[in-house]
Amino acid sequence: MIRPLTGRGVLIWLAGFFGLIFLTDAIFITEAVKTFRGEDEQKPYLQGMEYNHTLARRAEQALLGWQASIDARRLKAGRVAILVNLHHKDGTPETGARLSGELRHPADENRDRSLNFQQISSGLYEAQVQAGPGHWDVLVSNAGGSPFQAMRRLWLR
């Protein structure tokens, strides 16, 4: 025998439906807040205040005319070699630069790794680091006097 649908039954169904929606939203919101750390930069206000200095260094780098190509290759035991080919406007290699950098994971700053480059040939610099597969951002800068910064997103296998 089928019972007729009453106002009380509709109220119970609606309360159950919206209760399930609210419970699901509460679970998703809680997990999102627990796993997202918030801001990407530690001091975004100070970074914004220094932006004019950043623009001046970029203009100085453009006048310098250094060009860089960044690549990576997988080595044994899961290590990755990050290669930077650095040359001047006229194509001559830049030797003696003191390059440093960072291998950044786009979604998790806890996986970021620092890079210390060694010159392996004229204009070619290499840093080795342990990194898993996926998308990574490589940020390279000159620790010496000449302002230089380059960035590239790589897919590591």
pLDDT at 39: 65
Greatest extent of the chain over all pairs of C-alpha atoms, in Å: 91
Structural domains in the chain, CATH included, are 66-156 (2.60.40.1930)
Contacts of 113 (CB under 8 A, 6+ apart): 102, 103, 129, 130, 131
pLDDT band with cut points at 50, 70 and 90 for residue 30:
very high
pLDDT band with cut points at 50, 70 and 90 for residue 38:
low
Rounded Cα–Cα distance for residues 96 and 120 (Å): 11
Q: State pLDDT tens for residues 50-76.
A: 888 888 888 888 887 888 888 888 888
Q: State pLDDT tens for residues 90-144.
A: 878 888 778 888 988 888 778 888 888 888 888 889 888 888 888 889 998 887 7
Rounded Cα–Cα distance for residues 36 and 69 (Å): 33
Q: What per-residue string of b and e applies to 32-62 under the rule 16 or more CB within 10 Å gives b?
A: eeeeeeeeeeeeeeeeeeeeeeeeeeeeebe
